[in-house]
Amino acid sequence: MDASQSSTVDRIYQAFMQSQLAEGMALAESSDLLRLHLSPAAPPHFVAEYLCKGLVRDGAGEIKEASGFQVGVWFPPDYLRRADPFEMLRIFTPGVWHPNVGDDLPLICIGRLAPGTLLVEILYRVYDILTYQKYNPRENDSLNKAACAWARNNQDRFPIDRRPLKRASLGLEVQPL
């Protein structure tokens, strides 16, 4: 890298992204429900693959349980100063049925996102939405009004998946005989 390029490199952002990669991969390694992939652009582009139960609406309009979801996470260069979840997150799985997931656009709303929010926190928030551990019950503030109305009438089905995202450690200690 020459002197002109080094002045445009944000070392704080680079260090932040390296720590997000390490922490995100550590969470994925300790989870039976999450796989984290780097996109060809590498950090700051991630694809989170969730192997949990959630809901989708098929082409016939039927609400069905599904067990695989993919979400893209992108950290823009000014992420430590400004965060916009609608710019950063994309749901790649078609037909996801949830009030916080766009019906006609691949958007997912995980709530307010402060600059510098950790990747691991974002991954947990997305998981909570996909499994219906959290959802927005107000139609005037939802991305999918039909899913919102449906969710209010089907609360007894939630959460769809009760398993924790991170595998619980057993804390076993082996004693020699």
Q: Is the pLDDT of residue 3 over 50?
A: no
Average pLDDT over residues 121-145: 93
Task: Using a pLDDT cut of 70, give the percent of the chain over it.
Answer: 92
User: How far is Cα of residue 156 from the mean position of the Cα atoms in its chain?
Assistant: 24
Output the pLDDT for position 171.
66
Q: Which fold has domain 8-157?
A: Ubiquitin Conjugating Enzyme (3.10.110)
For the chain, give every domain's residue range. 8-157
Q: What does residue 75 show for φ and ψ, rounded to 5 degrees?
A: -105, 105
Tell me the pLDDT band of 177, cut-offs 50, 70 and 90.
Answer: confident
pLDDT tens figures, 35-80: 999 977 666 899 999 999 999 999 899 999 999 999 999 999 999 9
The least confident of 19-28, 54-63, 86-95, 135-144 is 135-144
Who contacts 129 (Cβ-Cβ below 8 Å, separation ≥6)? Answer: 98, 100, 101, 108, 110, 135
Chain mean pLDDT for the chain: 90
Cα–Cα dist 172/28, whole Å: 22
